[in-house]
Structure 1
Amino acid sequence: MRKFIFILLSIVVLVSCHTGEQGDDVLLDKGIKVFRYDRLQYEATAMNSLAALQKMSLDCPRATKILIEDVLMLGRVDEPNINERLCAYYSDTILLRIMQDATEKFKDMTSLEKGFTDGFRFLKEEIPAFPVPTVYSQISALNQSVVVGDSLLGFSLDKYMGENYPLYRRYYYDYQRRSMTPERILPDCFTFYLLSLYPFEWRPGHRSLYDVILHQGKIHWVVRQALGYKTNGEVLGYTEKEENWCKEHGKELLKWMTERGHLSSTDPMLIRAYTHSDPNMILNGEKLPPVVGLWLGMRLIERYMKQHPDVSIATLLERTDLGSVTLD
């Protein structure tokens, strides 16, 4: 199962999922409210509520279209028997249990809503034209953690039940489960929303590991600023030990990567090794922290911003060529 998917679709107003007629300033003044689409799913499938099923289709057409066509891949949303297929899919006993557990675990969204509001306010202040999305929660049947569309951002509660959630132990490795906690919802959502607005440009001369970690680094660094994290490691979900290792060995690691031609490599497997959560890289007999390339990218962006105090966050995000940056 892939954890993330980027779905870039045309704008469609979600009537009940959010008052799409309101502008970003009004939305942020009132504060972001997470629309509980997951509750509609539960009522429609577990409780056989026709009213909830109709509300999903009529009041939240975009969220329903993404769920049916792109997340679950059950068919086209306009097929005659698609509602029956959807209900049958969620009638699975495991999914019913997940929906019940998610409803219980996420009774209160106040903390998350504050995080979304503060983060989007920060980005709106830095980038006046920044589009603030409608935010909703769903149950994706353990598929995508985050879905993104034009002015739409959804996250799947069933992918953030906590690393010790019993069901996860049956289907996921330890390194996967550590990122499946409620604390990862905000950084994941902001990271992938920003990546949808500022995608990496795969072009000749701009596809090396160095290019990738700089781009990923600037996205994660901006997320750190927006959410007020104290360290780069917090954004990536590092333990204190992993954070300290990176601080102690960052320059050594960068030198090691340069000497072996890793930074200039365009090998997708090598790039994945530095940017994927599976910790399988070894340096001097020690296993490197997961996604260590992203930590390095954030550290390089920190250095770049100190060297260029006139560069705003808006400018940083727009730039695709940051030149050569070192940790010296």
Structure 2
Amino acid sequence: MQIKFYILLAVGLLFLSCNEESKVEKEIATIEADFTVERFDKAFFEAKPEDLSTLKEAYPFFFSKRVPDSIVIHRMKDTLQHELLTEVQNTFPDFKNTKQELEGLFQHLKYYDKTFTVPRVITLTNDVAYRDKTIVNDSLVLIALDNYLGADHKFYQNIPVFIAANMRKSQIVVDVTDNYAKKYSFQTDRKTLLDEMIYFGKLLYFKDVMIPFKTDAEKIGYTEAQIKWAEANESQIWSYFIEKELLYDTDPKLPNRFIADAPFSKFYLELDNDSPGRLGQYIGWQIVKAYADTTGEDIITIMQTEPQIIFNKAKFKPKK
């Protein structure tokens, strides 16, 4: 009877939690977050040399005073630029679905941060500089669409496959959210593997809260098979970190093995080839989730909390 009572209690608490989350999401859906997506990429694609002054007036931050107009006009006429812009227009004839996702993000940001104001959103191209796919500040969100043409696109043939895998339009709002997460996050040190794990765990948990309409696989940039592998092997991964005493290790090689973008994580075991990269980030994510569930703290506070406090209070236990 006692076991049955605890089961019923757990189910009841889960139901109440889900019901509360549903109420919050309904409230968030009523928040106004109006904005227009400005297609600078399209405007530049369609512009003629005589339109340059108009473009410079509308988007002065894209034109350096050190660069003469002749160079910009040459870029307008350049065949490679024309091909790049054509591919972008073909992939993004409109921006409706992504705009809806960005609106959802902004609604959540306004709910959790009362000081947040909806930024100006501008799309552009940046010669496939994939390390700068999106840029965010207090008033602007810049999205370089030539980095989201699809994993198998011909422009990405010289880019590592594990990086190109996330160069698709479904990842745009994920990348924008990641930029915002970094703005809200703070911690004094990032010296140990645990520091790094929880830093990236915070960024991923921020996505849980701000873009709940995206899947866990999309939030971390895994395939569905990779996220299932991480879930199935969570206990084994955690045991490895504990047995090897890696959590407080400051070896600079550890982030490259378990945190940085890579085709697989480096345990130096047979399971390496089956594993996705960034499993340290994945475990950090589970620790931060456990902390949030245990303490009930709001997302803004969590993003400012030191990693050791998060770890101590999370009482993290991996899935069996």
What's the TM-score, normalizing by structure 1? 0.78
**Aligned equivalents of 1:148 and 1:30: distance in 2?**
17
What's the TM-score, normalizing by structure 2? 0.80
**Aligned equivalents of 2:55 and 2:248: distance in 1?**
48
CA contact (8 A) 1:242 1:289 kept: yes
1:50 partner amino acid: E
Unpaired runs of 5+ residues, structure 1, are 1-27, 66-76
Deviations 1:169-215 (A, max 9, x none): 2x2121121011111111001111221x2245454xx4222112212
1:165 to 136, 153, 161: 153
CA contact (8 A) 1:32 1:114 kept: no
- The aligned residue for residue 134 of structure 2 is 146
Q: Higher mean Cα deviation, 275-284 or 181-190?
A: 275-284
- The aligned residue for residue 18 of structure 1 is none
2:270 partner amino acid: G
- The aligned residue for residue 42 of structure 2 is 39
- Report 1:104-143 matches (<5 A): 104-143=90-129
CA contact (8 A) 2:41 2:124 kept: yes
1:116 partner amino acid: L
2:72 to 63, 83, 86: 86
Q: Superposition RMSD on alpha carbons, in Å?
A: 2.3
- The aligned residue for residue 57 of structure 2 is 58
**Aligned equivalents of 1:257 and 1:106: distance in 2?**
43
**Aligned equivalents of 2:286 and 2:76: distance in 1?**
43
Greater Cα radius of gyration, structure 1 or 2: 2
Q: 1:126 to 1:85 in 2, by over 3 A?
A: same
2:145 partner amino acid: L
Shift of 1:231: 4.5
Which is richer in helix?
2
**Aligned equivalents of 1:326 and 1:289: distance in 2?**
25
- The aligned residue for residue 277 of structure 2 is 290
- The aligned residue for residue 175 of structure 1 is 162
1:264 partner amino acid: Y
CA contact (8 A) 1:277 1:290 kept: yes
- For the residue of structure 2 that corresponds to 1:29, the secondary structure is coil
- For the residue of structure 1 that corresponds to 2:306, the secondary structure is coil
CA contact (8 A) 1:34 1:136 kept: yes
Q: 1:230 to 1:141 in 2, by over 3 A?
A: closer
1:220 matched to 2:204? The reply is yes
